[in-house]
């Protein structure tokens, strides 16, 4: 399995991005050689996100993509001058054959969902906010989800959102077929009681 961490050009997303890295590296014991962490300097040097995604797809392994940054209604805003439309991203991801998990930690997080119908692989989308709303998680999106995973429970917003009025800010959407990553990662999507 490979993990791609994409961070927005501002440091405000650095802590959350490191939370993702720490979870996969230290808890799930994913080798560092399989984690690709791209931050602010990457995009200002003109490196293409689509090129990086293509390189990982060519490895023919399950893939987890975490995006922490500013989201638009139609894609990611990596910097003040670099945007990645969802249409372009999904067009590239159509070549992915193994299971795919996308952690879309941005405003309009679920706006990616309609595009995912084009994918050929089993996939799971976790979005910070509904497709038509900005989102902000003052409890820590990644920490909250991984807390559920560590307890072998589904990453359901109801399990971590304390105030019901905040529930609309969080959306969990399962798409495609069942994801199977093996014993070490199964609890990422399924609690023990529901595994088959």
State the DSSP string of 73-109: TTEEE-SSS-EEEHHHHHHHHTT--S-EEEEEESTTG
Residue 196: per-residue pLDDT = 46
Residue 141: per-residue pLDDT = 63
For residue 124, the 8-state DSSP code is E
Which H/E stretch holds residue 149? helix 141-150
Residue 79: per-residue pLDDT = 79
Residue 157: per-residue pLDDT = 57
Residue 139: per-residue pLDDT = 53
Site of tokens 């802590």? 15
Residue 175: per-residue pLDDT = 44
Residue 183: per-residue pLDDT = 60
C-beta of residue 123 within 8 angstroms of C-beta of residue 57: no
Residue 156: per-residue pLDDT = 60
The CA distance from 7 to 37, in Å, is: 8
CATH 3.40.50 corresponds to the domain 2-194 = yes
The CA distance from 9 to 15, in Å, is: 13
- CA torsion, points 130, 28, 25, 56, in degrees to nearest 10? -70
Site of tokens 């070549």? 95
C-beta of residue 130 within 8 angstroms of C-beta of residue 151: no
pTM of the model: 0.80
- Report residues of the chain scoring pLDDT below 70: 8-12, 40, 44, 135-144, 146, 148-150, 152-196
Site of tokens 């900005």? 134
Cα distance between the two ends of the chain: 21
Please tell me whether residue 137 adopts helix, strand or coil conformation: coil
């Amino acid at each position: 399995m490979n993990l791609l961490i994409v961070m927005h050009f501002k440091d405000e997303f650095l802590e959350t991005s490191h939370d993702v890295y720490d979870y996969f590296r230290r808890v799930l014991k994913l080798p560092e050689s399989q984690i690709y962490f791209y931050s602010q300097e990457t995009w200002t040097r003109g490196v293409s996100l689509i090129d990086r995604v293509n390189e990982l797809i060519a490895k023919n392994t399950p893939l987890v993509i975490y995006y922490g940054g500013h989201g638009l209604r139609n894609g990611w805003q990596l910097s003040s001058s670099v945007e990645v439309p969802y249409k372009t991203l999904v067009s590239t991801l159509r070549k992915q054959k193994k299971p795919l998990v996308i952690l879309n930690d941005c405003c309009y997080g679920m706006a990616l969902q309609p595009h995912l119908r084009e994918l050929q692989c089993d996939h799971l989308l976790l979005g910070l906010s509904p497709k038509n709303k900005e989102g902000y998680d003052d409890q820590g999106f990644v920490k909250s989800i991984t807390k559920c995973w560590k307890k072998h429970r589904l990453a359901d917003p109801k399990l971590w959102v304390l105030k019901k009025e905040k529930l609309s800010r969080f959306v969990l959407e399962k798409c495609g077929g069942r994801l199977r990553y093996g014993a070490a990662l199964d609890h990422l999507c399924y609690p023990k009681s529901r595994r088959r």
